[in-house]
A = this chain, B = another copy of it.
Amino acid sequence: MVNRPPNSYDVAKAAGVSQSAVSRAFSPGRSIAEKTRSKIFKVAQELDYKPNAIARSMSTARTNTTQQSGMVGVIVTRLEDPFFSKILNAFSRALQQMGLHVLLFSVESEAEVDNALYEFLQYQVDGVIISSAILSQKMAEGCRQHGTPVVLYNRYTKDKGISSVRVENFEGGRMVANLLVDTHHERIAFIAGAQGEPTNRDREQGFASRLNERGAELYKRDEGDYTFESGHAAALRLLSLAEPPDAIFCASDVMALGVIHAAKLEFKLSISKDLSVVGFDDIPAASWPGYQLTTIRQPVEKMTQEAVNILIEKMENPEQKAQTCLFPGQLILRESVRKS
């Protein structure tokens, strides 16, 4: 049988002090004599004592309004997508840097979000970040009751209590419209991400409305589900038209890659010369020599950092109002769009 790991009483006894003293020694900023502290540390080291974070959070729960469990719940969708794993990594690193711990839930549909949130609340997380999904009004209330701040990433809701950090999708769509009109494309198509998905909707509306403002119009619209395969399939349909498009804007880079593969292999087209392709996100592959995809970059590092900052502010001060933070996308001109 494994004998239980040492607790603060074991250390106290061995060091000849009270248990309170041990507790203080491990709580930065508490009043304790330097001599006592070092003695306690020495003994703790020998016994290989580690403070029990679970017990600590049980105690602090009572008084401390700020950090209680030290855990932040992170809900992620489409984790296998390179863009989203990049986001998770950024969140994870940023949170770790702040001494916070991430309780992760990978969901495959919005329906799973509420359940994940429920579990997070049971675990007394100090805050929640939800990437590319929203929560129900009911769970928003639940979080409010628990005093647990929530920040949405890549999404927003009408609920005034929920913060949101995202890129300006509508504006990003407009930028692409301008680019394709400026370069004199005549049959401009759009391949949408998942149906009814807000991010896609905003990009598409910005794109289509700006096209109209510029006196152009959307030639064709097709739809995928944000995967390479779906982009590839949509391109096959579009390029089989009697009059195929001369430009395709995709709601995401991954789909744009599918389009490029289809155009080059299936139709022997030259990208940019015969067909211009634009993506959104700026994933690593977008800059690979074989792609050189023109796209709208999301400043992921800055955005995730800001989301973490907003969360922490609200954790430290519950009176803090919810915030909405919009980041402009950046047009990255590479080689997949013809010059004029």
Contact = CB atoms under 8 A, between A and B. Distances in A.
A57 interface: yes
A52 B104 contact: no
Contacts of A104: 74, 92, 102-104
Interface of A: 1-3, 5, 48, 50-55, 57-58, 61, 69, 71, 74, 79-80, 82, 84-86, 88-89, 92-93, 96, 101-106, 108, 118-119, 121-124, 142, 144-147, 228, 232, 257-258, 260-262, 264-266, 284-285, 288-290, 318
Contact of A261 (B69, B84, B288): B288
A69 B54 contact: yes
A69 B145 CA distance: 24
B88 A79 contact: yes
A314 to B, nearest CB: 12
B2 A144 contact: yes
Nearest to A74: B104
A60 to B, nearest CB: 11
Given A85-B85, A89-B80, A284 B228 contact: yes
A157 to B, nearest CB: 20
